[in-house]
Chains A and B, each alone.
Chain A
Amino acid sequence: MANNNLQKAIDLANKASEEDKAKNYKEALRLYEQSVQYFLHVVKYEAQGEKAKQSIRAKCADYLDRAEQLKEYLKKAEKQPPTKPV
């Protein structure tokens, strides 16, 4: 079972949370997305036990929630007009 995709997904997720902690939200968002894509591939195409699939899906949900938050934050940050002197 080529679980290098699983390993890749885990590496990406770890990297994403490092970037997240380092406040590189743009990079963290991209990495969260990539890691979920890999996890999803593993769940769909690399037969895992139902239990393993369920726990991977739950992880995906967490990462997606976090990614959503980062996306919202970035959107707001970008829209933030430069504080014009009143």
Chain B
Amino acid sequence: AKASGISDEEIERQLKALGVD
């Protein structure tokens, strides 16, 4: 259900979380 309602901000946040090693 999460995938369907995700927002740009949420995607950006997860990207940052990933990138920050």
Interface residues of A (CB under 8 A from B): 29, 33, 36-37, 40, 43-44, 54, 57-58, 60-62, 64-65, 67-68, 71
Contact = CB atoms under 8 A, between A and B. Distances in A.
Interface secondary structure of A, over-half rule: helix
Given A33-B18, A68-B18, A60 B11 contact: yes
Interface secondary structure of B, over-half rule: helix
Contact of A57 (B11, B15, B18, B19): B11
Interface residues of B, number: 13
Interface of B: 2-4, 6-8, 10-12, 14-15, 18-19
A36 B11 CA distance: 8
Contacts of A62: 3
